[in-house]
Amino acid sequence: DGNTMDNTMGNIIGSTMQGLKLLVTAAGTREPIDPVRYIGNRSSGKMGYAIAEAAARLGAEVTLISGPSALQPPAGVEFFGVESAREMRQLVQEKFPACDIVIKAAAVADYRVKNVSDQKIKKNDAELTLVLEKNPDILKELGEMKQPHQTLVGFAAETQNLLQYAKGKLEKKNLDMIVANDVSKPQAGFNVDTNLIKLLKRDGSIEELPLMSKKELAYIILDRVMKLRK
C-alpha cells in the first residue's frame, strides 16, 4: 500500500523534500473544436499524479496542475484542474517563480483549433477541414525563465529514435533532466500502471530503468532530482 511504499522508497531516496516547492503538471490537455467537441490525447495522468503524491509524502510543498483526468488529486497537494494548453501555461507561469523543482509530465497539445466554433458544428459536407495553429511550448518557455536554484524536468514520449529525440529536447528546452519513454511498448507510456523509462541528464549520462510501476518510478525520479541538486 501507499504507506509501505513510502517507507521503503523513502529509505531509498534517503532525503526528505521538506522545505522544497515542487510544481507538477499531469494528464493531457484538451483543445476545443466547438462547445461539445475537443481534440485530446491518451495521457491518463498516472505518472504525474504518482510524482505529486510521492513528493508530498516526502514532505515537499506540492502544486499539481492537471488536464482532465479520472484520477483523484492526491492528499496534501494543492490542485488546479485546467483544460487547454493555454490555460495550463497561464497557471504554470504564475506558479513557476516560487518553485524549486518543476516536473512537466503533462501531454500538452502541440496544436489547437484555429477558429473554434461558438456553435456546435453541423454535419453538412462529406469533408470537414479543421485548421490547427501551434500552441506555446510551456516547458521551453520555463527553460528560458529558469533561475539557478530551479531544477526543470521534462518528459519525452516517443515512438521512434527515443534517445536522439529526448536528448534534443533536453538541450533545446534547457532542462536538467528528461524522462524518456518509448510509448510504442505496451508496458510503457499512456494509460498503463507501469512504465519503461530512461533518464537523461545534462552531463550526458543515461540511466536505463527496468520495468516498474509508475508509483515506484515516481520515487526514483524524485531521488535523481534530489541528487542533481546536491
Site for ligand CTP contains 108 (CB under 6 A): yes
What's the residue count for the chain?
230
Point out which span in 63-71, 103-111, 143-151, 181-189 binds ligand CTP (CB under 6 A). Answer: 103-111
Point out which span in 4-12, 31-39, 121-129, 135-143 binds ligand CTP (CB under 6 A). Answer: 135-143
Of the two residues 78 and 110, which places its CB atom closer to ligand CTP in the complex? Answer: 110
> Is 41 one of the catalytic residues?
yes
Site for ligand CTP contains 26 (CB under 6 A): no
Site for ligand CTP contains 55 (CB under 6 A): no
Separation between Cα atoms, residue 20 and residue 37, nearest integer Å: 39
Is residue 205 within 8 A of residue 198, CB to CB? The reply is no
Largest CA distance in the chain: 62
| Bridge-based pairing state of the strands 177-182 and 197-201 | antiparallel
Please report, as residue ranges, which positions from 2 to 21 form the binding site for ligand CTP (by CB under 6 A). Answer: none
Output the nine-digit C-alpha cell for 122: 453541423
Nearest-CA neighbor of 48 among 210, 229, 221? 221
Q: Which of 11, 41, 124, 195 is catalytic?
A: 41
Binding residues for ligand CTP (CB under 6 A)? 85, 104, 106, 108, 110, 135, 137-139, 154-157, 169
